[in-house]
Structure 1
Amino acid sequence: MAKRYTILRLNTWADFKQTVDGLSDNWAYRGQANADWHLENAIERTDFIKLYKGIEADFLAEFQRGARNYLQKDQTPEHLIEWLALMQHHGAPTRLLDFSRSPFIAAYFAFELSLPHIDRYLSIWAFNTNFIRLRALEILQSQFAVELEQSGNRINDILFEKIFFQNNRSLIFPVEPFRMNRRYSLQQSIFVSTGNSYEPFMKQLEFLKDDMEKAVVKLELPTVLQKEVLRDLLKMNLNRASLFPDLDGYAASLRMRYNSMRSSEEMLTEQLQKMEKSHLGLIP
């Protein structure tokens, strides 16, 4: 697709923090370890999705039948959005794409998985979810006027289910299940859904047309900042243990914390820089 979204290439972690500090609470973020990657949901990366139009619904139905063997009664989702969130949580492909309301959580996932290289960049995508939701509602109004009036102009569970099974709208919109599991709550998750399962996410994003540049921003940062950023995020208590509250998360957080430690050369360089700044009167 033609790049109609805004791209900001930032040089420092301080630049990133200053940029996101200027954005309102209407924005949500998704981190990716490589700035060359487009946004893709898991369903479009499967081999089966192009076989026939209703295959996504068949996949969902089979998951629902089988999952009931592993769930307690009070764990069983009541609505379609909850079912898709459960599938997403356990690695089954869906049309949902995970975002976070926290730019720092998104940055954590981007930097944690990045490969530091002097010429390589990662990306944190920022979506104005409120603007995107309103634009989607304008398009849906012509077909779902009654449902939107009954829902208070919201894409609720009933309307989402109709959009999902009709599977013929080319657009994206934010959705949130009524019940969130612990991990998604800790990660301040919000999902962005596509209107159909057979077109790529980036293609359906084009429904914003010329408004895309003010609703979608791609922030690019050098991957060589990895250690600096992860150390700063650790001070915010953002690590695998806090975002994935289980033994696997704790073990991964230890690995990342030790990998982010300053080497003796880095500590010496920092001390010399501080001494130079002190000599110049830059540090009181």
Structure 2
Amino acid sequence: MKGQWSGQFKGTNNGRANLNIDERRNEYSGVAYFFDDNVQLSALVVHFEIKKKDLENGNGVCKSSWINPLQPGSFTETSWENVKAFYPNTTFPKTIEIKFEYNDFSLSISAKTDVNTEVIGTLSRSELSQPSNLSAREMTWEQYKSFILLNENEYVYRGQNEPWKLQTSFHRRGRYDLTRYQQEDIPQLHRALSARTHHVFDLSNSLENGAFLNLAQHHGYPTPLLDWTHSPYVAAFFAFRNITKEQGESDDKKCARIYVFNADEWRKSFIQNQNMLTGQQHLSVIDLLAIENSRMVPQQATTTVTNVADIESFIQTFEQMTGKEFLQVIDIPWSERVNVVRELKLMGLTAGSLFPGLDGTCEELKEKMFD
């Protein structure tokens, strides 16, 4: 049942629902966002929990009193008192009962509030287990370099060993409820890292909060951030990182993948929202401060923050809506690994330069001595 689910609902109200559900030891917990087609009515957020023992053959019912409106514009959770001026004729519900009917392919919900509003809907889950379905252009290393030189746009790049779907490390670890992440994970992480950093991050400051998440991301902690670089050559380093010389010589079918994202045009086309707790699904490009993070500058790093599990499908939807191309995909065969690594070394792009410190130095010397 865990995952990110979305679809239409109908009943006394019509609109769209997004559910983010985590699996815990004894229960499923999550957050549901209901966006009404009638803009005169408030969007709602509901936090819920249902015990696994209460789900019988995928069917179960839970009741929640943690139900709040979303702030118009930002779609962040707020109180009824803060938004009642926008909705003067609305009676706000205090409790909601949600019935779930789940199978491997769909999640049907019916929800009824204490103010006699009732909706039903069947939702579909973001499919993340399958490989990327984007159409890629296969290039040699020489063709990739020519592509870079002929390109006149300001793109950002991301390199991966294989054609995995674009998703954040947070979603890749099977987590979806960012409210739980903010309330449970981040305070523990902040306490632990504050003992090891010279700077104590003020998480109430949006700039420092972003820098803190980025620092954690660069040291392996799952976040809703996705790393990109302004350098197509740094992206190539990450695309071929951890591919051994033996693998490059023995596997002529596999390809390293480089995503090319027109972040500048994306920013111009869509409102950017750095708040990961907004109910509105978004992908936002942000430039973060490099506090305590010596890796950001040599990696020429930039970042996207998102509450979307399937980033590729999300971008494709907006490409179809606008007729614009935001994302390109380039595959370079693993067999090009020797040429790529050699040239990147000549450019000074090594683990030692991109990961200042002991880890990067050891990785670079391992590459040198054991390749």
State the TM-score, normalizing by the size of structure 1. 0.72
2:173 corresponds to which of 46, 51, 63: 46
Q: 1:106: how far off?
A: 0.7
Other structure's SS at 1:186 match: coil
Which deviations, in whole Å up to 9, do the C-alpha atoms of 1:243-266 show, x marking residues without a partner? 112233122212323566xxxxxx
Which residue matches 2:13?
A: none
1:110 corresponds to 2:239 = yes
* Deviates most, 96-105 or 213-222: 213-222
Other structure's SS at 2:162 match: coil
Which of the pair has the greater relative contact order for Cα pairs under 8 Å at 6+ separation?
Answer: 1
Q: 1: distance between equivalents of 2:332 and 2:147? A: 12
CA contact (8 A) 2:165 2:310 kept: no
Q: 2: distance between equivalents of 1:245 and 1:212? A: 42
Q: 1:254 to 1:212 in 2, by over 3 A?
A: farther
Q: 1:202: how far off?
A: 2.7
State the TM-score, normalizing by the size of structure 2. 0.57
CA contact (8 A) 2:194 2:200 kept: no
Q: 1:247 is matched by which residue type in structure 2?
A: L
Q: 2: distance between equivalents of 1:89 and 1:61? A: 18
Q: 1:39: how far off?
A: 1.2
Which residue matches 1:175?
A: 286
Q: 1: distance between equivalents of 2:283 and 2:328? A: 15
Q: How does 1:1-284 map to 2 (within 5 A)?
A: 7-10=136-139, 12-24=140-152, 26-35=154-163, 37-47=164-174, 49-50=175-176, 52=177, 54-58=179-183, 59-73=185-199, 78=205, 79-114=208-243, 115-116=247-248, 117-137=251-271, 155=272, 160=274, 163-166=275-278, 168-180=279-291, 181-194=293-306, 196=307, 199-210=309-320, 211=322, 214-258=325-369
Question: Which protein has the bigger helix share?
Answer: 1
Other structure's SS at 2:356 match: coil
Q: Which runs of 4+ in 1 moved over 3 A?
A: 1-6, 73-78, 257-260
CA contact (8 A) 2:157 2:260 kept: yes
Give aligned pairs, total: 231
Q: 1: distance between equivalents of 2:300 and 2:215? A: 16
Unpaired runs of 5+ in structure 1? 138-154, 261-284
Q: 1:173 to 1:6 in 2, by over 3 A?
A: farther
Q: 1:53 to 1:16 in 2, by over 3 A?
A: closer
Q: 1:191: how far off?
A: 0.6
Q: 2: distance between equivalents of 1:204 and 1:91? A: 25
Q: 2: distance between equivalents of 1:86 and 1:170? A: 24
Which deviations, in whole Å up to 9, do the C-alpha atoms of 1:71-94 show, x marking residues without a partner? 324666643211211221222111
Q: 2: distance between equivalents of 1:3 and 1:224? A: 21
Unpaired runs of 5+ in structure 2? 1-126
Q: 1:64 to 1:21 in 2, by over 3 A?
A: same
RMSD: 2.6
Other structure's SS at 1:221 match: strand
CA contact (8 A) 1:127 1:215 kept: yes
Other structure's SS at 1:109 match: helix
Q: 1:61: how far off?
A: 2.9
Which residue matches 1:145?
A: none
Q: 1:54 is matched by which residue type in structure 2?
A: T
- Structure with max Cα Rg: 2
Q: 1:67 is matched by which residue type in structure 2?
A: L
Q: 2: distance between equivalents of 1:90 and 1:3? A: 26
Other structure's SS at 1:193 match: strand
